[in-house]
Amino acid sequence: MSMVVEKPGMLTTVQDAGRFGRRGIGVVTAGAVDPFAFRTANALVANAPGAAVLEMTLTGAVLRFEQEAVVAFCGAEMDAHAEGGPPLPGWRPVLVRSGTVLRFGSARSGVRAYLAVAGGFAVPAVLGSRSTYVPARFGGLAGRPLQAGDRLPVGPPPAPAAALHARLAAAAAPGAALSPAPWALAREARPPYAEHPAIRAVRGREAESFEARSLEAFFSAPYRVTAQSDRMGCRLDGERIALISPLEMISEAVTPGTIQVPPDGQPIVLLADVQTTGGYPRIAQVAAVDLPLVAQARPGSRLRFTEITAPEAQALYILRELAFRQLAAAVEARIKSL
């Protein structure tokens, strides 16, 4: 099975959970910038948790389905519909008939939307992952953003996904381009995406190297997302953050969610394509559960950071993982009830 790209949108790439276990030799993780939307899209089509999806940025792609498939569309609120047909609802499984063209338009809110297909996108794995890392030109489809005319292979669906496909096909109206499942992920179960989100963060390794006034401002004043933000980092503009005295650092490990402060005093929240080490002081680390809020913050949005402790961040992470287990179980139960 395959899917044809008629138009690629602004920046559409194949992404999965990322490359792990190789940061020690300088290989970045990459993967989906919004891990919640990515994981939820896969869960809704009963894929394996790390199956490859499409990540669309601000403006979506136009895709032609050469065979019938089940998809789920999560993340940014993006105009999406079957050509000449109904809208594609988000946050739920949808059967797409063979020959259907799905059109994704501009994001009304948020930045990144994720399209999962049952079976996952079966591009070749590179270093254990199908994620595209554009700066080094590897992974995904030829290591680059998608282009018009690309044909994306889709893998065989796992047994639960095949069962979901069969049940949606049996219930579909004759001739309908799209056949949504009668259930979706409840809004209250999604991250609190917002134009001006509150982001929880733990003090970083070098936090005490900053002036007390600057540290206080960081955890109270809003910081605006700039247009220079990308998959590597969310660049912010606001009250300048100053060190107590000049600090020379040997490069140390950084990860998605690390907040560095370069010499201009404007913080950067590192995201999925973050390098493996950095030499700027680390003022804070975003709680993993709030990374999706940063991932969906548009240029011009304002972030406000709230300080929490490491144990609090760990407790939030555990609760989120429990919620994903519950989601997988709920999808399995829903498939049986269709």
| CATH number assigned to the domain comprising residue 283 | 2.40.100.10
| 253 strand-pairing partners | 277
The answer to whether position 26 is within a domain reads yes
Full domain range(s) for residue 112: 2-190
Q: Does residue 179 belong to any structural domain of this protein?
A: yes
Q: How far apart are CA 15 and CA 17, in angstroms?
A: 7
How large a percentage of the chain has pLDDT more than 90?
92
133 and 85 share a domain? Answer: yes
308: Cβ–Cβ under 8 A, 6 or more apart, which residues? Answer: 200, 201, 202, 287
Contacts of 113 (CB under 8 A, 6+ apart): 37, 55, 56, 60, 73, 74, 75, 76, 78, 80, 104, 107
CA dist 51 → 47, 112, 247 (Å): 6, 17, 42
Residue 256 CB coordination number (10 Å): 25
Category of 226 on φ-ψ map: left (φ > 0), alpha (ψ -120 to 50) or beta: beta
Question: Binning pLDDT at 50, 70 and 90, where does residue 17 land?
Answer: very high
Domain count, the chain: 2
Confidence (pTM): 0.96
Asked if 214 and 106 sit in the same domain, the reply is no
Each residue of 214-255: pLDDT tens digit? 999 999 999 999 999 999 999 999 999 999 998 878 889 999
Of 190, 206, 223, which one is at a domain's C-terminal end?
A: 190
In the predicted structure, residue 1 carries a pLDDT above the cut 80: no
Q: What is the pLDDT of residue 282?
A: 97
Considering the domain architecture, whether residues 166 and 227 belong to the same structural domain is answered as: no
Report if residue 330 sits inside a domain: no
Q: Which of 168, 190, 212 is the last residue of a domain?
A: 190
Looking at the fold, whether 114 and 237 belong to one and the same domain comes out as no
Residues 180 and 292 in one domain: no
Average pLDDT over residues 291-320: 98
Last residue of a domain, one of 139, 158, 190: 190
Specify whether the CB–CB gap between 236 and 226 falls below 8 A: yes
- Tell whether 178 and 212 lie within a shared domain: no
